[in-house]
C-alpha cells in the first residue's frame, strides 16, 4: 500500500512537472500574430512575424511606424514626383499625366509631343504641320485656311467679300462687324496682337509650344524644363541632363580631330535599330547618337559599349 501511494505521488509529481513544462513551452512557442490576425498593424502596413513577437512595416508608398501609416504625397515637392507636367497623388502611389497634345513617355514621367498629323492628316484638308504640343493645317498656294482651321478655300471663290477675302489680313478668324468691315479674332489660347490682326500664342494653346513648363510673358511663351532636363537650343524641347552634357562638350570641343570624329560618328548615323547600336546590352537613341547602358551589377566599360559584370571582374582577379 505504502509503495503504491509513493508511486502515485511520484506520478502526480511528474504530471505536475510535465504540465508545468508544457505550459512553459507554450509560453515560449511562437504564435504567428500575423496569420492569426491578432496584430495591431495598420491596414496599410505589412505584418512580419518574428520569433517572439511581430513587426509592422508600412507598405511601399506609405509612411509611419507601422501602427499608423499614411499615404506619402509624392507630388508635394519641387520635384513633383519627377512628373514633367502633372502629378496626381493616389493612395500608396502617384501617377503622371500630360497636357492635351502630349503623351506619357515609357518612363511614366516625361511627356512627349503627339504627332497629330500621323492620324488622318490631323483632319487637315491639305497640309498638316506638327508642332510641339499641337499641330496646324496649312493650304497650298492659291488657297487660304477657313475659320474652322482645317479646310481650305480657293481664293477666287472669296473675291469681293470682306471676310471671305484673305486680304482682310486676320491671322486666325475674321468677323463681319455690324458697322461693316472685318474685325479679327484669335482662336482660344491666342491673344490678338496690337496691330489687331496677328495672333500671339499663349501657354493655353499646345502648352505654348513648350515640352515641359510654359510661362506667359509680354513677348510670348517662355519655355523651361523640369529638373534633370535642360532646354534644347530650339527653346522648346527638353533633353535629359546627361545628354545635354555630351552635347555641350561637343560644342566646346576645340580639337579639330575630335570634332572630326564626332561628325563622322554622326554621319555614320549610329542607331539602336542597327546591330543594337554596338551596345552590349541596353541601347538608347538620343539626339547625339546612341547611348549604351548596363543593368544593375554591371558597369559600362570605357569604350562606352561593353558591359562588364561584377562576376566577370571577380574572375579576372587571380
Interacting residue ranges for Ca ion, rule: CB under 5 A: 71, 89, 94, 113, 130, 135
Minimum CB distance to Ca ion smaller for 211 or for 288: 211
Q: List the grid coordinates of 310.
A: 561584377
Minimum CB distance to Ca ion smaller for 126 or for 130: 130
3-state secondary structure of 111: strand
Minimum CB distance to Ca ion smaller for 135 or for 298: 135
- Quote the least distance from Cβ 91 to Ca ion, whole Å: 6
- Quote the least distance from Cβ 90 to Ca ion, whole Å: 6
Minimum CB distance to Ca ion smaller for 210 or for 292: 210
- Quote the least distance from Cβ 85 to Ca ion, whole Å: 14
Minimum CB distance to Ca ion smaller for 92 or for 278: 92
Residues with Cβ within 8 Å of residue 149, at least 6 apart in sequence: 136, 137, 172, 187
- Quote the least distance from Cβ 206 to Ca ion, whole Å: 7
Backbone angles phi, psi at 102, to 5 degrees: -125, 160
- Quote the least distance from Cβ 55 to Ca ion, whole Å: 23
Whether residue 62 contacts residue 70, with contact meaning beta carbons closer than 8 Å, is answered with yes
Closest to 217 in 3D by CA, of 234, 244, 235, 232: 235
Beta bridge partners of 209: none
Q: How many CB atoms lie within 10 A of CB 122?
A: 18
Q: List the grid coordinates of 67.
A: 501602427
Helix H or strand E encompassing 246: helix 241-252
Instruction: Count Cβ atoms within 10 A of the Cβ of residue 19 and give its class: 0-12 exposed, 13-18 middle, 19 or more buried.
Output: exposed
- Quote the least distance from Cβ 21 to Ca ion, whole Å: 51
User: Locate cell 491596414: which residue?
Assistant: 43
Minimum CB distance to Ca ion smaller for 133 or for 277: 133
Amino acid at each position: 500500500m505504502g509503495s503504491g501511494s509513493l508511486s502515485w505521488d511520484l506520478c502526480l509529481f511528474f504530471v505536475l512537472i510535465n504540465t508545468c513544462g508544457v505550459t512553459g513551452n507554450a509560453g515560449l512557442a511562437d504564435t504567428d500574430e500575423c496569420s492569426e490576425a491578432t496584430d495591431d498593424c495598420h491596414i496599410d502596413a505589412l505584418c512580419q512575424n518574428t520569433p517572439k513577437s511581430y513587426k509592422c512595416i508600412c507598405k511601399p508608398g506609405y509612411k509611419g511606424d507601422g501602427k499608423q501609416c499614411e499615404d506619402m504625397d509624392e507630388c508635394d515637392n519641387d520635384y513633383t514626383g519627377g512628373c514633367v507636367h502633372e502629378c496626381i497623388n493616389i493612395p500608396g502611389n502617384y501617377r503622371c499625366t500630360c497636357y492635351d497634345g502630349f503623351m506619357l513617355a515609357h518612363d511614366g514621367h516625361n511627356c512627349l509631343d503627339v504627332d497629330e498629323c500621323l492620324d488622318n492628316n490631323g483632319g487637315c484638308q491639305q497640309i498638316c504641320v506638327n508642332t510641339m504640343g499641337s499641330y496646324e493645317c496649312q493650304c497650298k498656294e492659291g488657297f487660304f485656311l477657313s475659320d474652322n482651321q482645317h479646310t481650305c478655300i480657293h481664293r477666287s471663290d472669296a473675291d469681293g467679300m470682306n471676310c471671305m477675302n484673305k486680304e482682310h489680313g486676320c491671322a486666325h478668324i475674321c468677323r463681319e462687324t455690324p458697322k461693316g468691315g472685318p474685325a479679327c479674332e484669335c482662336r482660344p489660347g491666342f491673344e490678338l496682337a496690337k496691330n489687331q490682326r496677328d495672333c500671339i500664342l499663349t501657354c493655353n494653346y499646345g502648352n505654348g509650344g513648350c515640352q515641359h513648363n510654359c510661362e506667359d510673358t509680354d513677348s510670348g511663351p517662355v519655355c523651361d524644363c523640369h529638373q534633370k532636363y535642360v532646354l534644347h537650343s530650339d527653346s522648346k524641347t527638353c533633353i535629359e541632363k546627361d545628354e545635354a552634357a555630351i552635347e555641350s562638350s561637343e560644342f566646346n570641343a576645340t580639337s579639330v580631330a575630335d570634332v572630326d570624329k564626332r561628325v563622322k560618328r554622326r554621319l555614320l548615323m549610329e542607331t539602336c535599330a542597327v546591330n543594337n547600336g554596338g551596345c552590349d546590352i541596353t541601347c538608347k537613341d538620343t539626339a547625339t547618337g546612341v547611348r549604351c547602358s548596363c543593368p544593375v551589377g554591371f558597369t559600362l566599360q570605357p569604350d562606352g559599349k561593353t558591359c562588364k559584370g561584377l562576376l566577370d571582374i571577380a574572375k579576372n582577379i587571380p
